[in-house]
Amino acid sequence: MTRRINAAGLSHVKQWEGLKTRAYRDVAGILTIGYGHTSAAGAPMVTESMKITEAQAEEILSRDLRKFEERVERFVKVPLTDNQFAVLVSFDFNTGKLDKSTLLKKLNKGDYDAVPVELMKWVHAGGKKVKGLVNRRAAEAGLWAKGEFVSSNTVEAKTKAPATDVAVVGGTGAAGGGGAIGPALPEIVGVGSGQQDELSSGDWTRIAIAVIIVVLTLYGIYRKVRA
């Protein structure tokens, strides 16, 4: 039996898709209804002036999500908490690109902490950063962080960096504790640079989201170093 998205994940999808009980055309001109349902997703076919109830919209969403629940189960090879599973279903429902993503490759190698950073790379549409997608990815990253770290029996989680990669302070290797920060520096710099526009925007909502992303990333790096 296919694993289903949990209540927290379902609430997330419904919040970001938004409910429309009357058919409308999205930004691409595609007829859409309910929680982002289109004819391409399967029945029912969306027609002009079509109307549905909220209960019908939820039933359609449940059917639409099943495809992506099955995809997550098929493509992910490591154990997931319910929240982590829900995040990947939401992400794939929105992008349809889970199987082609670097996120999946890193996760299947046991690098759970890479997921929030990878999620934040999927915030562009038409070559431009979209605020709605930034907010959605940040919410997914937050939900992912609520899931406990799970290590697969078959896929070994990333281990501490070898001694040759540790940072050198005062001419000696800073081994142990937080010393293995050297290999993580590009990731730290990358996430800081990636959020520079948000941090300097003057918009407190955008700044708060950027801070959350940076904190989650640094926490993930800290756990890697301490492993």
Residue numbers annotated as active site: 17
- Look at residue 172 and give its three-state secondary structure: strand
Contacts of 195 (CB under 8 A, 6+ apart): 210, 213, 214
Contacts of 137 (CB under 8 A, 6+ apart): 119, 120, 122, 123
At 85, which helix (H) or strand (E)?
helix 82-95
Residue 122, φ and ψ in degrees, nearest 5: -100, 65
Strand order in the sheet with 31-34: 20-25, 31-34, 37-38
Max Cα-Cα span within the chain: 72
> How far apart are the C-alpha atoms of 153 and 196, rounded to whole Å?
38
> How far apart are the C-alpha atoms of 77 and 99, rounded to whole Å?
12
> How far apart are the C-alpha atoms of 123 and 171, rounded to whole Å?
41
CA angle 63–68–140, rounded 5-degree value: 110
